[in-house]
Structure 1
Amino acid sequence: MSRDSLLPADLLAFLACPTPDAWVAWALDNPELLLIDHAQCEKKAASTAMSLLYRYVDQPLLLTKMSQLAREELLHFEQVVKLMEARGIAYRHLSASRYAEGLRRHLRPQEPERLVDILIIGAFIEARSCERFARLIPHLDDELAKFYRSLVKSEGRHYEDYIMLARHVAAEPIDDRVAFFAEREAELIVAPDEAFRFHSGVPV
C-alpha cells in the first residue's frame, strides 16, 4: 500500500516536502529508537494539549478538542509502551530532536497570533507524523503496520483539529502563516541530523 493511498490529499498538500527515503532507511535501521521516540512524541503531544487547556481557558472549542486529543495521545503512549514491552524494549528518556523547537522559535509573541502559530505548528507535527507512519507501514511487521495504520487515521484527525482551531481563533486569514511554517518545516525535514528521532532530518 502506497503512502498516497493512506493519506488524504489535503494533508499531503499541506506538507511542503515528502519524508526523504534516507530517513525511512534510517528508521528501519533503528527499530528500538523508533518506538522509544514514538512513545516520547505521544507523551509530549498529550502534554502540549494539556498546557493549552490550562493557558487558554477562554476558548471553549479549544478546550473540548484539546481534552479529547490529550486522552487519545496518552492512550497511544500506553499502546506504544505495551508494544515495546512485548518486544523486550525498555522505555528510556531520549534527548528531543530539534524539530519542534525549530518550529517554535518562530512563534510571534503577542496573542492571539502566538496561539495561532502554536496551533499551526501542532497541525504540522501531526501531519508529518501521519505521513511518516504511512511511509513506514509497507516496511513493518504485521503487528506494527496494523498499529501504525490505525494511528494514521487518528493523527489525521488531530491535524484537522489543529488547523481548524487556528482558523477559528485567528483575527485574519492564516494562509500566509501556514505557507511560512510549511517552508520552515520542510527545511528541518531535509536537513542533516546526527541522531535519529521520529521527527529528525536525514542522517549526516
Structure 2
Amino acid sequence: MIQELLAPINDFLHCETPGRWVDVALENQDIMLIDHANCEKKAAASAMSLMTRYLERTELLFCAARLAREELHHFEQVVEIMQKRNIAYTQLSASRYANGMLKHSRHNNELDLLVDRLIIGAYIEARSCERFAKIAPYLDHELSRFYTSLLRSEARHFQDYLALAQQYAGQDISERVEELGRVEAELILTPDQQFRFHSGVPV
C-alpha cells in the first residue's frame, strides 16, 4: 500500500533523500520536530496566500482551503507530540530549500508565476512525503505511526498542486516541471550548513 502511494512521488522527484540526512535527522529529532511544525505552518500560510491572491480561481480556492485546514491540523499534531516530549517550540532559522526554489519562479506575467508556484508546491509536498516515508522505519512507535499517517495527505497535496498547474497553464508543462525538478534535486543533494526538515546534505 505504501509503495503504491510512493510510486508517483518517486517518479516525480529527481533524487531520493541521501542517507546522511536520515542519520543526522535521527540524531537531532528535537530540531526535526520543531522544523516540521514550522513547515506545516508555512504550508498553511502558503495556501492562504494563494487564496488571497487568486480570488477568481474557484478550483484553487477550494483546493487551497482544504490544504490549509489539513496543514494546520498537522501543525497541531506535531506541537502536541513536542509537548509530550518536553520539546520547547523555539525559534529556528528557515532552511534554504523553499526560497532556493522560489527564486527560480518566472515573474514575466501572473500566469507563469502562478504555474511555477503550484509546481514548486508540488515538489515541496512530494519531498515531505518522501522524507516521512524515508525516516519513519527508524523512529519510535509513536513518531513512526504519525509520519506514516501523513503520507496519504501529502501525496494528495502533491497531486492537487500539479493538476492545478497543468490546468491553469493550458499547455504542456512537462519541460518546466523538469527544470524545477533539477533545481529541487540540487538543493537536496548538495552540502548544507544546517540541518532542517528539507535541508540538503548536512555538513
- Normalised to the residue count of structure 1, the TM-score between the two structures is 0.97
Q: CA RMSD in A?
A: 1.2
Q: Which amino acid aligns with 2:159?
A: E
Task: Please list the CA deviations of residues 73-130 of structure 1 after superposition, one character each: whole Å capped at 9, or x if unmatched.
Answer: 0000000000000000011221100000000001111120100000000000000000
Where do 1:102-113 residues align within 5 Å?
A: 102-109=100-107, 110-113=109-112
* Structure 1 position 54 matched with structure 2 position 52: yes
Rounded Cα–Cα distance in structure 2 between residues aligned with 1:92 and 1:48: 21
Aligned partner of 1:114 in structure 2 is 113
Where do 1:57-96 residues align within 5 Å?
A: 57-96=55-94
State the secondary structure of the residue aligned to 1:8.
helix
State the secondary structure of the residue aligned to 2:110.
coil
5+ residue gaps, structure 2, are none
Rounded Cα–Cα distance in structure 1 between residues aligned with 2:96 and 2:30: 20
Task: Please list the CA deviations of residues 17-40 of structure 1 after superposition, one character each: whole Å capped at 9, or x if unmatched.
Answer: 000000000100101000000000
Give aligned pairs, total.
Answer: 202
Contact 2:6/2:130, CA 8 A, preserved across alignment: no
Rounded Cα–Cα distance in structure 1 between residues aligned with 2:94 and 2:161: 22
Contact 1:6/1:134, CA 8 A, preserved across alignment: no
Aligned partner of 2:150 in structure 1 is 151
Shift of 1:8: 2.9
Q: Which amino acid aligns with 2:198?
A: H
Cα gap change, 1:142/1:6 in structure 2, threshold over 3 Å: closer, same or farther? farther
Shift of 1:10: 1.4
Q: Which amino acid aligns with 2:63?
A: K
Rounded Cα–Cα distance in structure 2 between residues aligned with 1:144 and 1:38: 12
Aligned partner of 2:178 in structure 1 is 179
Q: Which amino acid aligns with 2:59?
A: L
Rounded Cα–Cα distance in structure 2 between residues aligned with 1:63 and 1:181: 24
Rounded Cα–Cα distance in structure 2 between residues aligned with 1:120 and 1:16: 14
Shift of 1:171: 2.9
Contact 1:7/1:131, CA 8 A, preserved across alignment: no
Aligned partner of 2:196 in structure 1 is 197
Q: Which amino acid aligns with 1:27?
A: A
State the secondary structure of the residue aligned to 1:133.
helix
Which of 61, 76, 100 is matched with 2:98 structurally? 100
Contact 2:21/2:201, CA 8 A, preserved across alignment: yes
5+ residue gaps, structure 1, are none
Contact 2:34/2:90, CA 8 A, preserved across alignment: yes
- Normalised to the residue count of structure 2, the TM-score between the two structures is 0.97
State the secondary structure of the residue aligned to 1:11.
helix
Cα gap change, 1:30/1:78 in structure 2, threshold over 3 Å: closer, same or farther? same
Rounded Cα–Cα distance in structure 1 between residues aligned with 2:50 and 2:31: 28
Shift of 1:168: 1.0
Contact 1:119/1:165, CA 8 A, preserved across alignment: yes
Contact 2:192/2:202, CA 8 A, preserved across alignment: yes
